[in-house]
Amino acid sequence: MSSQAQRPVAKMLENFAESNPVSFHVPGHKNGELTGLPEAVRGMMTWDVTELPGLDDLHAPEGPIREAQDLLAAAYGAHRSFFLVNGSTSGNLAMILASCRPGERIIVQRNAHKSVFHGLVLAGAHPVYVDPVWDPATQSPGHTEAALILEAIRKYPEAKAVILTNPTYYGSASPNLREIADICHGAGLPLLVDEAHGAHFGIGAPFPESSLAQGADVVVQSAHKTLPAMTMASFLHVAQGSMLDADRISHYLGMLQSSSPSYPLMASLDDARHYIANYTEEDLRVFLSFRKALVKGMSAIDGLSVIQPDDPLKLLLRADGHSGNALSEALARESVHIELSDPCQALLVLPLLKKGQNDDRLQELFAAVRRAVQALGPGTETGELAEPDTQPTITAAEGPPDLQPGESSEWMDYQKSEGRISAASVIPYPPGIPLLLPGEPVTGEKIRVLHHYLTAGTMFQGTHRLGTQQILVSRQSPEA
Ligand SMILES: Cc1ncc(COP(=O)(O)O)c(C=O)c1O
């Protein structure tokens, strides 16, 4: 019987590497021997193996990988949990594919990550978008109101599932997830939650409650974002009594995940589960006192304000008279690298410290941040993104949010495109939440926000030519 003190996958790989193995199998780096990369990377490659006898198989787990996934489910109170080696992206795709068929409706919080919209395209789903409320604290779109989800379900009773994002990238948590879960279940719908930024929820107050504990059926978490896991390493949990079948999700994960899943990533997931499952109240006290010192030190810097969102692992910094992008660049010149910036602010993801991991470089950090803010000097940028002037609404799309084919679309100066229909996605990145989706009207509000982002130097993904101010719009007028 295994316990949360163990790391079955890590142990399996450690034992294997110690057996002085000879490799006549893939991968071609042969336990790291043929690589030209530095020693630190070569060392890790001794764990980068494949489905050899005794090393189990993520796609048909029976040994240590199965044991590690069972420990994961037990740690999070799930019915079944899966290791994801291709990020929360693959989890979002799988849960959407498992919940609906082409042409079927699905209710989606509009400020979702692009992977959710990609899932809708792959599934051929017809989304019903529910706008979020504006979160003034983080100056960003927040959660959806329960009343609006209820209205969407009443209007579109044929919908197959509801997909929410909780928390937001900015650390804003939904105050009414439990109520929404009850509404969904009352209507016979599963609630799917993209909790990419909340793998650490569940360690107790002041951290918000996890979506799983609040009744979500399926939850996807990027372990790599907030736990000590390697990039891409993520979890998918299926709740006890879930309205969406775990085997269906497993079926799609089998298609979406590589047939050669990375063993170092699986070991890292095993380690991340071990980390969070053994996080004690004393660890929490250590983290909170580190955070308190950080907030105090940063708040004492002239011209800088510190905003504390719902998730204590996140902080927002705002520099008077400067955009978040300018602040981020000034910090990078001091070798302080933040998670994302927008026209208003810079977002920090703090380390989820444990006892014995106290950060002793705080004074150095404050000095560097002070230098960065001083280097910016006085500024005149307003930074504010400002609340949209429209109330949150429900919008049903006529098809999946897919790129419109070439003949039916044209490039256009975005400033002149008000009233046209977008033919492509325009995605400020990070956070990766599409500002425009194919099929959506280009409103004056969207143009204002796009302009604001561009002026602040934000990077964009999607299909666009913003270097020459152009976006792709449908040739047909909205009335046609
Ligand atoms: C809300 C949200 N969901 C999903 C993802 C995708 O996560 P991953 O990078 O683990 O694929 C992200 C990534 O930034 C995200 O912010």
Could you read off the pLDDT of 379-395 as tens digits, one per residue? 887 666 667 778 999 99
In which order are the strands placed within the sheet that holds 340-341?
304-307, 314-319, 346-349, 340-341
* Architecture of the 8-277 domain: 3-Layer(aba) Sandwich (3.40)
Task: Classify each residue of 346-383 as buried b or exposed e, where b means 16 or more C-beta atoms within 10 Å of its C-beta.
Answer: bbbbbebbbeeeeeeeeeeebebbbebbeebeeeebeb
Q: Give the atom of ligand 1 at the shortest distance from the alpha carbon of 91.
A: 11
Q: Is the Cβ atom of 172 under 6 angstroms away from ligand 1?
A: no
For ligand 1, the distance from its centroid to the CA atom of residue 119, given in whole angstroms, is: 13
Give the containing element (helix H, strand E) for 304.
Answer: strand 304-307
Q: Which residues contact 12 (CB under 8 A, 6 or more apart)?
A: 54, 55, 56, 63, 64
DSSP state, residue 285: H
Does residue 27 have a cis bond before it (omega within 30 degrees)? yes
Q: Which residue has the tokens 């002149």?
A: 416
Q: Is the Cβ atom of 115 under 6 angstroms away from ligand 1?
A: yes
Does residue 64 have a cis bond before it (omega within 30 degrees)? no
CATH 3.90.105.10 domain span(s) along the chain = 403-474
Q: Is the Cβ atom of 119 under 6 angstroms away from ligand 1?
A: no
Q: Give the atom of ligand 1 at the shortest distance from the alpha carbon of 194.
A: 3
Helix 87-99 to helix 114-123 angle, to the nearest 10 degrees? Answer: 40
Does residue 430 have a cis bond before it (omega within 30 degrees)? yes
Q: Is the Cβ atom of 56 under 6 angstroms away from ligand 1?
A: no
Q: Is the Cβ atom of 210 under 6 angstroms away from ligand 1?
A: no
> What pLDDT is recorded for position 217?
98
For ligand 1, the distance from its centroid to the CA atom of residue 209, given in whole angstroms, is: 19
CATH code reported for the domain at 403-474: 3.90.105.10
Q: Is the Cβ atom of 221 under 6 angstroms away from ligand 1?
A: no
> What pLDDT is recorded for position 457?
86
For ligand 1, the distance from its centroid to the CA atom of residue 298, given in whole angstroms, is: 28
Q: Which residue has the tokens 């001091």?
A: 334
CATH 3.40.640.10 domain span(s) along the chain = 8-277
Q: Give the atom of ligand 1 at the shortest distance from the alpha carbon of 168.
A: 1
Nearest CA to ligand 1 atom 7: 88
Are 128 and 105 a contacting pair, CB within 8 Å? Answer: yes
CA distance 72 to 220: 13
Both ends of the chain: CA-CA distance in Å? Answer: 65
> What pLDDT is recorded for position 382?
66
Q: Which residue has the tokens 């978040």?
A: 324
Q: Give the atom of ligand 1 at the shortest distance from the alpha carbon of 165.
A: 1
CATH class of 281-376: alpha beta
Q: Is the Cβ atom of 226 under 6 angstroms away from ligand 1?
A: no
CA distance 340 to 137: 17
CA distance 266 to 306: 36
For ligand 1, the distance from its centroid to the CA atom of residue 126, given in whole angstroms, is: 22
Ligand 1, residues 144, 219, 222, 314: which to mutate, most atoms within 8 A of Cβ?
222
Q: Which residues contact 273 (CB under 8 A, 6 or more apart)?
A: 4, 68, 71, 72, 75, 223, 235
Are 362 and 351 a contacting pair, CB within 8 Å? Answer: no
CA distance 365 to 392: 40
Low-confidence ranges of the chain (pLDDT < 50): none
Phi then psi dihedrals of residue 243, to 5 deg: -85, -5
CATH 3.90.1150.150 domain span(s) along the chain = 281-376
Q: Is the Cβ atom of 87 under 6 angstroms away from ligand 1?
A: yes
Give the chain's largest Cα–Cα span: 70
Does residue 190 have a cis bond before it (omega within 30 degrees)? no
For ligand 1, the distance from its centroid to the CA atom of residue 354, given in whole angstroms, is: 25
For ligand 1, the distance from its centroid to the CA atom of residue 19, given in whole angstroms, is: 37
> What pLDDT is recorded for position 456?
84
**Pairing mode, strands 346-349 and 394-396:** unpaired
Are 256 and 86 a contacting pair, CB within 8 Å? Answer: yes
Helix 146-155 to helix 177-186 angle, to the nearest 10 degrees? Answer: 20
Residues in the chain: 480
> What pLDDT is recorded for position 476?
75
> What pLDDT is recorded for position 477?
67
Average pLDDT, the chain: 95
Give the containing element (helix H, strand E) for 115.
Answer: helix 114-123
Are 133 and 143 a contacting pair, CB within 8 Å? Answer: yes
Q: Is the Cβ atom of 196 under 6 angstroms away from ligand 1?
A: yes
